[in-house]
Structure 1
Amino acid sequence: MPVVPDSPLTVREISGIIERLLDDRQLQDIRVLGEVTNYKHHSRGHRYFSLSEKGGGSTAAVIRCVMWRSDADRLSFAPEDGMEVVVTGSVRVYPPAGAYQLQVKKMTRGGAGEKYLLVERWKKDLAAEGCFAAERKRPLPPFPARVGVVTSETGAVIHDIRTVIARRFPVEIVISPTAVQGEDAHVNIARAIERVAAHVDVVIIARGGGSFEDLFSFNHPDVVRAIVACPVPVVSAIGHEVDVTLADLAADMRAPTPSAAAELVVPDRKDLRIALADLRCQLSATLLARISGALKEVADLRDRLRPQRFCRRIGEKRQATADLSDRLERALATRIERDRLVLAEMKTALEGRSPRAVLARGYCVAEKEGIVVRSVNTVRKDDRLDLRFYDGRSRVVAERVEHDGNL
């Protein structure tokens, strides 16, 4: 069972609830096909009417509609009662009347309904092919030499583009004329893109404003694929800013008008002159700073290389060299004297330990068969012994052998 509130709702609260319910996304930016009834063109430019199911009779469903002047001014035809139309808008509540209504943003003749569905199908298929992917969008060249323009030979579009380019940055314009509406216009547009693409640096596809039917050719897959296959960037300027075609979605960049497209593809000479002037000032400042630094460096070098200073520095170096030479000589003399004393001490020590020095003091060395006799135990009676003296040798025969223990 629903819960009954303690206090009744106000009318404003009910309207708020209805308004929140109508915010459902299914009721926003929708297209509705119906027959115009009770059409009124207000003196302020607003359009009030109702939409009903065509041929529904007295039982037909009806929805009230309003089209504000800002949107109604873009209508390419005059609606009237009994006319079948397709409108685009959102459902809103109108609290003063306690009723909901469809706020219409766009309106086309009813015959365009099937074309809308066809465009939606094309859009889905082309999106699946990646024709509208952001990663395939290319930047425009900063300084194009040639600009290609795909548009009708007649009309103000060519004049507007030429005027803007001539004023901003004169470059060569290559016109690739084509029909921009009609049964076979999409074929001509695609061929015009292919025809000019190999000869320019950027392509502008442009036409003036028009109804959905007038711009229908620019939704065709042939045109979209020609834009995607174009080897140079493409800027679209089709219809008014509020009109969005599939060609706009595929182009590398979209402009609201042909004149705006011309401004996008070429730089402005005035801006370039200002930028060049700034760069010239920066370059001059940098060069002056470099020259000033170089002059200071040259002055420092000139000061360091003056003859008087140079001679003084040479004298200082000569004195330092002489001092160093003296120190080296003293160090070498001291080192040699020390080494001589050390050698003398070593010589004395060696001479003191020499066997010859021992022999010179009256000792002799006994040898038996070339071997030094170190103990009396190795000597027998009648052994021949060689005695080495300080200044010669002598051979003797041992007549007796006595041990210290026997003494």
Structure 2
Amino acid sequence: MPGGEQAVLVTDDPEIITVQHLTRIIREELDTPLLRDISVRGEVTNYRLHSSGHMYFTLSEKNSSGDAAIDCVIWRRAALRVSPPPENGMDVIVHGYVDFYPPHGRTRFIGESLIHAGAGEKYIILERWKRELSAEGCFAPETKKPIPQYPVRVGVVTSPTGAVLQDIRNVLSRRFPLDLIISPTQVQGEYAHMDIAEAIRRIDGHVDVIILARGGGSFEDLFPFNHPDVIRAIVACRTPIVSAIGHEVDVTLADLASDLRAPTPSAAAELVVCDRVTLLREHAERKATMQNLILDRLEKYSRDLEEIRLRIQGRRIERRISDMKQATDDLRERLQKAISRRLIQEKSDLARYTAEIRSADLRAPLSKGYALLLADGEMIRSVDACTKGDPVTIYLIDGEMEATITEVRHDRDL
């Protein structure tokens, strides 16, 4: 350095921050509602589709006010829904949010969807409809109805002249022929949404399941299937609805409101009916299983019957009867001994109880010349219980007498 002096970096200065701290501050400041959930219009330049499926490009703008550009990336999952893919020079509207990537120190726009600028106004309307219908609960999972496993009648809401209807017919006739009810409707045009909603209401209740179908097309072609009239008709429909609108990458609001979404109309037909060949094969397998089970049971019962037959014939049955007679004699002898012992015990108990009862009989001593004295029904056990003049009753073996106490003498007076 000039003059040979060396500069000393003061690292503990509180006003000095690290690069990591700075990038964190930038990222936090950019994380604001003003830079999230926004749509940006510009020209695509430097477009590159990575082998991973991510889309990288620059969104730029040139006008009299000056030039501006921002790097954009659309991750693979969102990129799959972009159809057709962007090209350099294309005027597009990208919906997403601003992000800062610290390792490269770059600010970029993360796209969640991309449409041609010509469809920008409809895209804004679509987002508003999506918010309103979501607030009404039209896309709630708990409102989804189960698809019947074995429908008898299948309804189709689609154009009667398109290839979609024929594709569905072919699949149903191949997999499981059944009644197919058509509720014809326009599938594109300014008033198509009204016709679609009416077609859904018209067929509701007359079939077991409804396929709402349309072939592939541009964003504008599929736009009627985003209209609130169609969505509310789907939600109000009592019959389960399977949507099959456009290609797999095309997702309309009708797909979100339906009870089940199929990637294509042909796939929808496969979802609503079982494969007849598979059912017949499963039936044959179950039938064979039942037959084998029945045969196994019959074979077991045959063996049991044969064993019983062998038991009841020839010397075996005689030996069995002899054993049973011997067992019967043994039981008879044991029973007789048990009865004899019980009778002896009962006689002994009876004699003991008789003696106890006799000993407790107050009249027993009367036979030996004794007498019982009672006053007022109570036995007199001591001279202290009587006084001169008390009436008493005297009980003897052969009767009773009434008497009056004329004198009371105690042993101590003798």
**Residue type at the aligned position of 1:164:** V
Q: Quick one: which of 57, 60, 65 aligns to 1:51?
A: 60
**Residue type at the aligned position of 2:241:** V
Look up the match of 1:376: none
Deviates more, 1:198-207 or 1:42-51: 42-51
Look up the match of 2:269: 262
CA distance in 2 between counterparts of 1:209 and 1:92 reads 34
Q: Quick one: which of 156, 169, 173 aligns to 1:162?
A: 169
Deviations 1:316-364 (A, max 9, x none): 333443455456667777868x969x99xx99xx9xxxxxxxxxxxxx9
Is this contact kept in 2: 1:22–1:92, CA < 8 A?
Answer: no
Are residues 1:145 and 2:152 paired? yes
Shift of 1:76: 8.3
Look up the match of 2:282: 275
Look up the match of 1:201: 208
Q: Quick one: which of 290, 305, 313 aligns to 2:297?
A: 290
Look up the match of 1:120: 127
Q: Quick one: which of 219, 239, 249 aligns to 1:242?
A: 249
Structure 1 210/295 Cα, relative in aligned 2: closer, same or farther at 3 Å? same
Are residues 1:188 and 2:195 paired? yes
After superposition, residues 225-240 of structure 1 pair within 5 angstroms as 225-240=232-247
Is this contact kept in 1: 2:83–2:249, CA < 8 A?
Answer: no
Count of residues in Structure 1 that have an aligned counterpart in Structure 2 = 340
TM-score, normalised to structure 2, is: 0.65
Shift of 1:72: 9.9
Is this contact kept in 2: 1:22–1:91, CA < 8 A?
Answer: no
Look up the match of 2:306: 299
Is this contact kept in 1: 2:157–2:200, CA < 8 A?
Answer: yes
Deviations 1:109-155 (A, max 9, x none): 43533333332332233223222121121221111122111112233
Look up the match of 2:16: 4
Shift of 1:299: 2.4
CA distance in 1 between counterparts of 2:236 and 2:244 reads 18
Shift of 1:204: 0.8
CA distance in 1 between counterparts of 2:112 and 2:233 reads 31
CA distance in 1 between counterparts of 2:329 and 2:102 reads 111
Is this contact kept in 2: 1:15–1:98, CA < 8 A?
Answer: no
Look up the match of 1:75: 84
Give ranges in structure 2 of 5+ residues lacking alignment.
1-12, 359-367, 372-414
Look up the match of 1:219: 226
CA distance in 1 between counterparts of 2:73 and 2:48 reads 11
**Residue type at the aligned position of 1:179:** Q
Shift of 1:191: 0.9
Across the aligned residues of Structure 1 and Structure 2, the Cα RMSD in angstroms comes to: 4.6
Look up the match of 1:253: 260
Is this contact kept in 1: 2:57–2:73, CA < 8 A?
Answer: yes
CA distance in 1 between counterparts of 2:40 and 2:332 reads 113
Structure 1 172/18 Cα, relative in aligned 2: closer, same or farther at 3 Å? farther
Are residues 1:179 and 2:186 paired? yes
Q: Secondary structure at the match of 2:289?
A: helix
Give ranges in structure 1 of 5+ residues lacking alignment.
351-363, 368-407
After superposition, residues 23-42 of structure 1 pair within 5 angstroms as 24=31, 30-36=37-43, 39=45
Deviations 1:11-66 (A, max 9, x none): xx7998699669958699844232437x577899988553338xx62246543457
Structure 1 244/26 Cα, relative in aligned 2: closer, same or farther at 3 Å? farther
Q: Percent identity?
A: 46
Structure 1 79/183 Cα, relative in aligned 2: closer, same or farther at 3 Å? farther
CA distance in 1 between counterparts of 2:160 and 2:119 reads 27
Is this contact kept in 2: 1:181–1:217, CA < 8 A?
Answer: yes
CA distance in 2 between counterparts of 1:246 and 1:73 reads 16
Deviates more, 1:237-246 or 1:324-333: 324-333
Shift of 1:226: 1.1
Q: Secondary structure at the match of 1:214?
A: helix
CA distance in 2 between counterparts of 1:228 and 1:161 reads 23
CA distance in 2 between counterparts of 1:27 and 1:162 reads 50
Deviations 1:197-251 (A, max 9, x none): 2221111111122232222211111111111122221111112223222111111
After superposition, residues 124-139 of structure 1 pair within 5 angstroms as 124-139=131-146
Larger Cα-atom Rg: 1
Q: Secondary structure at the match of 1:235?
A: strand
Q: Secondary structure at the match of 1:272?
A: helix
Deviates more, 1:290-299 or 1:258-267: 290-299
After superposition, residues 331-350 of structure 1 pair within 5 angstroms as none
Shift of 1:280: 2.6
